[in-house]
Amino acid sequence: MSRACRLLQPGAPRDKPQTVEQPLRDEHAASLLKGLKHANIVLLHDIIHTKETLTLVFEYVHTDLCQYMDKHPGGLHPDNVKLFLFQLLRGLSYIHQRYILHRDLKPQNLLISDTGELKLADFVTAVLRGLVLSDKWEVRQTTVEIHGREERHLGYKTIQARTGKPVLVGEL
């Protein structure tokens, strides 16, 4: 079985200040990802941690949905769209049950195996949800807004997969 590696720099500055929803970019994140075992989630085989780097060793999946859609410029067959959407929803349901939001759903992060199996990948910007440490409405509302964005994005990409044309050019 082939492997793919991703090299991360522990302790690198984060894009945003730390909040209740921490980006999953450190050793804890790698441990969390190692616990995700599902047919529609790319499998993390190993974690190699040195003083300078953190290397994540994933299963190798040949192509992503973006490349797959490029091979079908007129759009995908409705049966393929249904199959991919079903698999995507299964993967999302699995991570949402574990209080993880992906936050970067796009065709490049949806891998397609040689057997047509769709796998969610690239959890670098994922966050834990439901961790409310405050009674402030703003904290709870942020989680709901992020979750809603993920669902809306999924709808746009489903239409794009079927028609071969982006729904909102330049927006996604």
Pairing label, strands 54-59, 3-8: antiparallel
Tell me the three state secondary structure of residue 142.
Answer: helix
- Domain limits, the chain: 3-163
Whole-model pTM: value is 0.69
CATH number for 3-163 (one of 1.10.510.10, 1.50.10.20, 1.20.1560.10, 2.130.10.10): it is: 1.10.510.10
Note down pLDDT in tens along the chain; length 172 residues.
566 655 555 555 545 443 334 434 556 667 667 889 999 999 988 888 788 877 888 899 999 999 999 999 888 999 999 999 999 999 999 998 888 888 788 899 999 999 999 999 988 777 776 554 444 444 444 444 445 566 666 677 677 777 777 766 654 4
Catalytic residue among 15, 26, 46, 104: 104
Element (H, E) at 16: none
Nearest to 149 by CA among 86, 99, 107, 105: 105
Concerning whether 104 is annotated as a catalytic residue, the answer is yes
pLDDT for res 153: 67
CB neighbour list of residue 129: distance below 8 Å, 6 or more residues apart? 21, 96, 99, 100, 101, 143, 146, 147
